[in-house]
Amino acid sequence: MGAILRSLFVVAAVLVLSGCVSSPREDALASQHPPSAEIRRVIVHDAKDYLVDPYSVRDAEISSVMDAPGGEVQFVCVKANAKDAAGGYAGRKAVSIRLVGKYPVGINPNAAACAEPQLRWYPFPELEALKRT
């Protein structure tokens, strides 16, 4: 009987302690902070090279910046609608942008992190303003 109680206690302790460990997703969401003006500027600048028609952007939003697991890389999501190669609007697409410091180092179109309900979004008029420059 004592061995069974001991086993149950160990299982219960493991279950309680496992609830105390946060996942990388939870850690990233907890690290959210608004994107700086410099990060916004760099993304707008790079959009000219990334998008087929950067001057057609509308309905743009930028997410909070989050820390990726490991702490050296951050990422931010951008949602926008822009014309595709056929000249039509393709609908709002999300892309995750990996950052080292304030500089983009990679992208991940339709990243799952960009669909997190807890992710905070901000208007991104600077990206939409490309059409006016």
Q: Which DSSP letter does residue 117 get?
A: T
Residue 87 has which token pair?
């000249």
> Rounded to 10 degrees, what is the CA torsion of 11, 14, 19, 25?
-120
Determine contact, residues 101/86, Cβ cutoff 8 Å.
no
DSSP lists the bridge partners of residue 96 as 77, 108
pLDDT in single tens digits along all 133 residues of the chain: 444 434 333 333 333 333 444 565 787 788 899 999 999 999 999 888 888 888 899 999 999 999 887 778 999 999 999 998 899 998 999 999 999 988 899 999 888 889 999 999 999 999 999 865 5
Alpha carbons within 13 angstroms on the beta-carbon side of residue 80 total 30
The pLDDT value recorded for residue 24 is 57
Q: What is the pLDDT of residue 18?
A: 39
Query: Residue ranges per domain, the chain?
Result: 23-132
User: Which tokens hold the place of 11?
Assistant: 């299982």
Strands (E) across the chain are located at 58-63, 66-67, 74-81, 93-100, 103-109, 121-123
Task: Decide: 68 and 75 in contact? Cβ < 8 Å.
Answer: yes
> Which among 131, 123, 107 is positioned nearest to 60, based on CA atoms?
123
Q: Which pLDDT does position 101 carry in this prediction?
A: 87
